[in-house]
Structure 1
Amino acid sequence: MANRSLPITLTRAYSRTDFTALRAFVQRVPPATIARLYFSEDSDGNAPTAGWVSMYLRRMQADLVDLAIEHGSPVLADHLKASARAHGSARLTAVTLKMVEQAAALAVARPDAQHPVGMWFRPLVSLRLKGEGIRTLGDLVAFCNRRGGSWWRGVPRIGAGRARHIVAWLRQHEASIGERVIDDVELEDPLVAGDPVVVDGPRSALVPLERMTIGAALAGTNGANRSNAFPFIRARNDLDAVRAYLNRYRDQPKTLRVYTKELERFLLWAVAVRGKAMSALMVEDCEAYKDFLGLPSPSFVGPRAPRSSPRWRPFATDALTPESQRYATRALRAAFAWLVDVRYLAGNPWKAVNDPRVLKREASIRIDRALPADLWERARAFMDEACEPVGAKQWRIARALLLLMGESGLRREEAAGAMRARLAVSPHSIRVHTVWQLTVIGKRNRERTVPVSPATVSALRAHWRDRGEDFDDLRSSASLSLPLLAPLVVPSFRVAEARHANSDAPQGYSTQGVWRLVRWAMKGLLEGMDGLSEADRTVLHGASPHAFRHTFGTHAAADDVPIDVIQRALGHASMQTTSIYVQAEQRRMAHEFERFYASEPDANE
């Protein structure tokens, strides 16, 4: 017993990434390359050096050789001992390393829910996961379960193929992780799923309009409210009629999306809850649906999910606001009125249904999200500095976008659709600092002209230089037809790739692309700006594209720009809406003077 050696134990367990790195090391891949491919920064943000990687992998190799000598076959042990005597340490080839790994299987760490993702995935993958708040394997499982089969769409540059490997690996190790990826997190790309689903009564699957087929009994072919007159549309049933109505808005994507949502909700409720065809509904049924809007049944409610996902539900919240309920009622009333006009329906039951009561609020828009003047100026200064390096092209795009919204009051749809041909020096500008003007198409298809600051034009020029285009070349019709803002790299999303591939000319940003760019910029400001207060961080963290439109309105009011001028620039239909910006500035002034007067001595003392 006294001469028996103790079993060898490891000071740490090695992960799959460690073994992959060691294989590369054995195959003489440079340590600097291994560091970049397989090792992440430490907790202090320090990148691993080539020297550290070399030392770490040599120590790991020695540990595994000791384990293989202890637990492996006699032939392998003799080979390793002979190699060590000849070279000072055992030299491994790809074949002997594989044998050592098999013999040292006990050294491999078992995945655990608390393990950081960097322990099991490559640095670039780990970095992207961490960017979405996914720091541990437990976080990753929860994220997949919460988002469903399209979870990877919320993580930049994690495609469907890589997502399938990650989910398969998580399921393979669910016993040691202690948490399970649920079954409806599909391994296939959810966009390929799209087979029609028959909705024919209670307990039917709930699917969006484009995948919906209604059973013959409830299709409305012979609905009680069908018109006997000659119809103006070729609609065999209620689903055909609804699609004919929505086709009117094919050139208005935002309106089409909203009306589709309201009509598919109503169709699903009529068939799956009420058990009646839409063309057979009476006033009492419409009143019942109005009540349903206030409290949808749990089967109709679920977290936001792609329309192709089995997790999709008609409602994302279990209680619509009174404003949303009123909007739904009016949208359905308008749709039914059109169906009566085209002689599909005999009458409109929604005409007898009152709108839900809505409390009229004094201020209907959230202008408190505007950036205060001091924060806006500091953010602009930071962006100017961030744009100086030659490679800072993304910052130059972000600066041009934020200035276009924050200095001209554009909505994100207007910024996305802004064209070079509609931007010119204002013929009325007579000052030293030239004012430009941009004509955009706003809400309700209304055209308006907004001012554009010299700083914005300068930012646009810098962005165009990055695109390899001449911003000031007004002789070329090709230049005039270009969007003011365009991505330099097409995002790796199927929709984006198709959109850019189907056009010879460069395409501008989508509205969703504008939103993502603003959020990228806010994250950069939060991480890079010094001296941010808690209030500053709160504003930047919650800033959406619309916050910069509010920033323009609030700052213009503070600088005493006449309210009617602000109204025209913002495109408000009512001056009462614009006056909210003036009231906000007056309220801020009152609060500031309250603090000022509070510091003065009381005259009665």
Structure 2
Amino acid sequence: MTGPPLALAPAMADALARWLEGERAVRGRSAHTITAYQGDLLAFLSFLGGYHGAPALPGTLTALTQTDMRAFAGAERARGLSPRSLARRLSAVRSFLRWLSDREGFDASRALSARGPRYRRSLPRPIPVDQARAVLALAGTRHPTPWVAARDAAVLTMLYGLGLRISEALALDGEDWPFGDTLVIKGKGGRERVVPVLPVAAAAVGEYLRLAPWSPSPGAPLFRGVRGGRLAPGAVQQAMVSLRQSLGLPETATPHALRHSFATHLLAAGGDLRTIQQLLGHASLSTTQVYTGVDDAHLLAVHRAAHPRR
């Protein structure tokens, strides 16, 4: 049985800070990702301190083995960490060990050879086309204040029509308006992408701005809360809860599900994965490929329901 986690030694804390800074500056990791990585490594290094009875040092990591990695994985699973979260945590640990082994000149292959847990990546749950249209149509009528209702409809239209993350839509500022044929979006890790702007999306935003008590201005948020500050994601999520209850939609019908629906409906209409990857701002095609599973699931459902030999 291991003792309580021990504080990081200064040398270890310095190495961790240097690695995190490299991930941020060189690899362009977002602040959210850096925070997650820091938590992952603190959990790992604190575990090693308790497991071996002494603070982990850069030099002592040279002796890490598969047994150490398996013990850490077992402890995390015992704490209730899901296989998916554990896989991400181990991935961060491996990245740090690779960086440290290159910096310190040691062989980390014994620790790196430990296999992570297997997990099934859950499929996105898109909203059918007719339900997505119903959500957007109803959104503009749900709030008693007309400009707030128009704002909610505009934001949700941006998620479904342009495939934006909710954070990306709410990060837009006054200088981004009026929209042209395309819009430059800054996504995860500071990566920029260009997305086409559908006329219906521009019209929805224009209607919101026509009714809103504020005019768009440089440096000010495009989408505002009732007090004039930048609109919070929670307000959009709450609006979607109301819409879903009115339309009898499942709890999986969230604002982010509209982004999933954008990708899935494009794929079903003949869009290719590379284009959809660029539109969504995915760093890896493997992330986008999950939508092929959604499409396959739909095809299987249709086949089973309609095939004459069922």
The reply to whether TM is greater than 0.5 is yes
List runs of 5+ in structure 2 lacking aligned partners: none
- State the partner residue of 2:141: 385
Distance 1:286 1:277 in 2: 17
Question: How do residues 508-587 of structure 1 correspond to structure 2 at under 5 angstroms?
Answer: 508-509=230-231, 513-514=232-233, 516-529=234-247, 532=248, 536=249, 538=250, 541-573=251-283, 578=288, 580-581=290-291, 584-585=294-295, 587=297
- Pick the aligned partner of 1:456 from 178, 184, 201: 201
- State the partner residue of 2:222: 484
| More RCO (CA 8 Å, sep 6+) | 2
- State the partner residue of 1:446: 191
Letter in 1 for 2:115: P
Is 1:399 matched with 2:153?
A: yes
- Pick the aligned partner of 1:356 from 85, 102, 115: 115
Q: Is the 8 A contact 2:184 2:194 kept in 1?
A: yes
Change in Cα spacing, 1:585 to 1:324, as seen in structure 2 (3 Å) is closer
- For 1:552-580, what per-residue CA distance to the aligned partner results, in whole angstroms no more than 9, with x for missing partners? 01122233345543332123455565455
Distance 1:563 1:386 in 2: 35
Is 1:411 matched with 2:121?
A: no
Question: How do residues 21-36 of structure 1 correspond to structure 2 at under 5 angstroms?
Answer: none
Q: Is the 8 A contact 2:154 2:205 kept in 1?
A: yes
Q: Is the 8 A contact 1:564 1:575 kept in 2?
A: yes
Identity among equivalent pairs (%): 22
Aligned length: 304
| Equivalent position SS for 1:448 | strand
Distance 1:287 1:293 in 2: 10
- Structure of greater Rg: 1
Q: What is the Cα deviation at residue 297 of structure 1?
A: 6.4
Q: Is the 8 A contact 1:422 1:440 kept in 2?
A: no
Q: Is the 8 A contact 1:519 1:544 kept in 2?
A: yes
Q: Is the 8 A contact 2:173 2:221 kept in 1?
A: yes
- State the partner residue of 2:129: 373
| Equivalent position SS for 1:439 | strand
Change in Cα spacing, 1:264 to 1:582, as seen in structure 2 (3 Å) is closer
Distance 1:551 1:284 in 2: 48
Distance 1:356 1:415 in 2: 38
- State the partner residue of 1:183: none
Distance 2:40 2:300 in 1: 43
- State the partner residue of 1:328: 89
| Equivalent position SS for 2:141 | helix
Distance 2:122 2:177 in 1: 29
Is 1:281 matched with 2:55?
A: no
Change in Cα spacing, 1:269 to 1:452, as seen in structure 2 (3 Å) is same
Distance 1:574 1:267 in 2: 29
Change in Cα spacing, 1:595 to 1:341, as seen in structure 2 (3 Å) is closer
Q: What is the Cα deviation at residue 423 of structure 1?
A: 5.4
Distance 1:571 1:348 in 2: 36
Question: How do residues 85-124 of structure 1 correspond to structure 2 at under 5 angstroms?
Answer: none
- State the partner residue of 1:296: 75
Q: Is the 8 A contact 1:448 1:571 kept in 2?
A: yes
Distance 1:580 1:237 in 2: 41
- For 1:283-309, what per-residue CA distance to the aligned partner results, in whole angstroms no more than 9, with x for missing partners? 5545344213432269x83xxxxxxxx
- For 1:221-274, what per-residue CA distance to the aligned partner results, in whole angstroms no more than 9, with x for missing partners? xxxxxxxxxxxxxxx432344334434538831121111111110222122332
- Pick the aligned partner of 2:301 from 584, 591, 599: 591
Distance 1:403 1:372 in 2: 15
List runs of 5+ in structure 1 lacking aligned partners: 1-201, 207-212, 221-235, 302-317, 427-435, 472-478, 490-505
Aligned CA RMSD, in angstroms, stands at 3.6
- State the partner residue of 1:437: 182
Distance 1:561 1:421 in 2: 31
| Equivalent position SS for 1:385 | coil
